[in-house]
A and B are shown apart, each in its own frame.
Chain A
Amino acid sequence: MAREELEIEISPTGKVTVRTIGIKGPKCLDYAELLTQIIGREVSRELTTEYYEAHAEAHAARKIEVKQARK
């Protein structure tokens, strides 16, 4: 299983950029919420491929479940 990590960059002006690494799906948003609570106010958010990968996996699993239920 991939390690779940956060990379936090604090610029010389105090602005913070947080990247979640190895955290798939909506769980990464929990970390985003946590860091926002600790630091201040979220100004932007970008969801990258890993987030959508997890969503796609969950969606595919749900489709299989529905198909099996219909049989």
Chain B
Amino acid sequence: MSSVIVITPLIIANWPAITAAVYAAVGTLGFAVARHAADGVTASRATAATRAEIEVEDSDILQDAGGTGQELVVERDGIRAIFSRDARGALKVCMEGAGCSKAELKRIGQELVGRVTQQYVYHRVVTELKQRNMTIVDESVEADKTVRIRVRNS
């Protein structure tokens, strides 16, 4: 071994790249995609539900031809997560769920955001390294859901 570096990810992507990461991530936490709302059509908010919002600080959702009003809604056991782009261009997740505390919704939302970030990073790393003619020689998912990739310079 010659060096160990730790990197915190920055999500800079267009909406399709974000939705791809959300689709790939949510299943691992038992969520299913309920709706992908078109530009300007926002999901109806559940009444009498607790809400919590999470802004993903290190993110920038690029404006593209598809507009900026899109939303992606995922659900699990009455808990709903609505992914969208906020006014500043960052990724925002609005959590809703009846019978859940705000803290509980925040915790679930943070977990979701983590998995989406993990999928985004995985896709970006694999794509970029393949473009540089590097080969993935091994890939595994650990019990704690850490993804491990071994890459060789070919």
What are the interface flags for A39-58 relative to B under an 8 Å C-beta threshold, 1 for contact and 0 otherwise? 11111111111110010000
The chain B residue sitting closest to A34, CB to CB, is B132
**CB < 8 Å neighbour of B6 from A7, A15, A28, A49:** A15
A14-27 contact mask (Cβ, 8 Å, vs B): 1 or 0: 11111111111100
**Number of residues from B at the complex interface, CB < 8 A:** 36
A68 at the interface (CB under 8 A from B): no
A-B contact count (CB 8 A): 142
From A34, A38, A44, A54, residue with most partner B Cβ within 10 Å: A38
Question: Closest B-chain residue to A4, C-beta based?
Answer: B153
Q: Is B152 touching A13 in the complex (CB atoms < 8 A)?
A: no
Residues of B close to A17: CB separation below 8 A: 4-7
Looking at chain B's contact residues, the main secondary structure is mixed
B1 lies within 8 A of A42 (CB)? no
- B123 to chain A minimum Cβ distance, whole angstroms, is 10
Interface string of B119-154 (1 = CB under 8 A from A): 011101100110010100100000011111111110
Residue ranges of A at the interface with B (Cβ–Cβ < 8 Å) = 3-25, 28-29, 31-32, 34-36, 38-51, 54
Question: B2 touches which one: A9, A10, A20, A34 (CB < 8 A)?
Answer: A20
Does B125 contact A28, Cβ atoms closer than 8 Å? no
In the complex, what's the smallest C-beta–C-beta distance from B57 to chain A, in angstroms?
12
Q: Which residues of B contact A3 (CB under 8 A)?
A: 152
In the bound complex, residues from chain A placing their C-beta under 8 Å from that of B6 are: 15-18, 42-45
Q: Is A41 touching B10 in the complex (CB atoms < 8 A)?
A: yes
